[in-house]
Structure 1
């Protein structure tokens, strides 16, 4: 079995971030910071750690790409360079000519549609998908862990994470087959199963390595759960035709598309810092009595 190397990653950043209004009136949700770094930068750095060379941003109507990518105004760049500080979320990425690439999702038709909008750039190569509001913290990073698994088994490898049985109706869920360490054979995928019907408690935490054939499925796919074109439904059609595995993350996930998850991420990452951790910990102890 020939396993093509993974070089490209799609970052869907078209969402409006309505759960964070009014903050997202003036700032894309992907630029919300966890401590002092935008969510999109965490995701891009995770991709780079997994060997990604070309990044593809799928933006939405009304979003200005420079507001998503640049972390400093033009007037401050000379000062930032002199101080050796990061200028954009792309710093440190070994980019090829023509990278990064921006494509536009004209209508908010769902994650599957957003990924399909990147089809011409992906071409006939495997590609990763990283959802920036899913902050994955671990060493090595989750994408690096997944790429190492992909290089062994090929095909499609998606993130897997255990959740409480009471929460399975909120996510895309894996129907599991044979297991090998942290790899689980995927026999089916169900998008947001009704309570009491879930085949497992393994959800898909916003990380995917997919073969390009999924784009041809998305081409003619009808709307699914929530009236949107679901990536989960398209992936399900690859099962049985290509190797398909879930890979359980060795690390911590924070759902930063949710206000509570976003606050938890800020607290956890602040506590882990050498510079501000002691002060934050002392404050938390005082606050909690």
Structure 2
């Protein structure tokens, strides 16, 4: 059985929707309660039994690197105050996964970002996690659930979710075989980027998690740049689909698009409501706000 040992997270995006704050802080470092979003994504990888991580960074990623390597001065200050526990979560994460960095020197699309990690993947299937998508499941993390399906069918698996009509024209939508593999797996026959509602073959959208066979890297190397001279992962997956089956996994749980300010707010409210120290006061505050407006 082919294992999934490496995950890739592209974090070189500029985060223009969050300017001006992202002029000095990478978007993936924006917090969800006390943890930056990137920490939650990496925790998902660790909980999915993946041992290696490649972070595809931009030219200005010192903040990300520093987060995973706290300074000696900070350690000394916290130790003197008996507050070392405040950064224990970082050390726990570091002990469980090997993090390596590759640089995408110019923003040339998601496919190009993934391609930068090729030499660190050892010609094995990889998990790709997009940090704009935070997904909370009640049991095992979504990446683990998808790996389980990959092991069972030995084909690439893409996370999908049902979306309302007003979002269809801004997302990648799948066409699928009318005979579903089972209630959660759909055999994809076509990937369509941002179709009109009229032309959309379904309301199932691609959602930020992929388990992809290693042939994707050779395809990416030969994929011609499209609009804005970018190499897109969707184009490469469409080419892969001509040679291999790809399945969509309709996942259970909550999804938050934290690539938008409103999505980040929703994620913070959701995760705060899961914490006992916040839940009661937060719910009361939200109830009062609802009565006011």
TM over 0.5: yes
Query: Counterpart of 1:231?
Result: 233
Query: Counterpart of 1:118?
Result: 117
Alignment partners' CA distance in 1, 2:18 and 2:236: 29
Alignment partners' CA distance in 2, 1:220 and 1:207: 23
Three-state SS of the structure 2 residue aligned to 1:124 is: coil
Alignment partners' CA distance in 2, 1:69 and 1:156: 32
**Structure 2 residue 191 is the aligned partner of structure 1 residue 184:** no
Matches within 5 A, 1:148-163: 148-163=148-163
Query: Counterpart of 1:131?
Result: 130
Uncovered stretches (5+) of structure 1, i.e. residues with no partner: none
CA contact (8 A) 2:256 2:266 kept: yes
**Structure 2 residue 59 is the aligned partner of structure 1 residue 61:** yes
Alignment partners' CA distance in 1, 2:32 and 2:86: 21
Change (3 A) 1:130 1:69: farther
Q: Which moved more, 1:110-119 or 1:59-68?
A: 59-68
Alignment partners' CA distance in 2, 1:227 and 1:278: 50
Query: Counterpart of 1:262?
Result: 264
* 1:147 CA displacement: 0.9
Change (3 A) 1:90 1:223: farther
The structure with the greater share of residues assigned to helix is 2
Query: Counterpart of 1:52?
Result: 50
Three-state SS of the structure 1 residue aligned to 2:124 is: coil
CA contact (8 A) 1:11 1:57 kept: yes
Uncovered stretches (5+) of structure 2, i.e. residues with no partner: none
* 1:32 CA displacement: 0.6
Work out which of the residue numbers 21, 24, 36 in structure 2 matches 1:23.
Answer: 21
Alignment partners' CA distance in 1, 2:96 and 2:61: 25
CA contact (8 A) 1:44 1:90 kept: no
Query: Counterpart of 2:172?
Result: 172
Matches within 5 A, 1:75-94: 75-78=73-76, 79=78, 82-83=84-85, 85-86=87-88, 88=90, 91=93, 94=96
Work out which of the residue numbers 250, 253, 256 in structure 2 matches 1:251.
Answer: 253
CA contact (8 A) 1:69 1:89 kept: no
Alignment partners' CA distance in 2, 1:24 and 1:196: 36
TM-score (norm 2): 0.90
Alignment: residue pair count: 284
* 1:90 CA displacement: 6.7
Three-state SS of the structure 2 residue aligned to 1:52 is: coil
**Structure 2 residue 269 is the aligned partner of structure 1 residue 271:** no
TM-score (norm 1): 0.92
Alignment partners' CA distance in 2, 1:145 and 1:266: 24
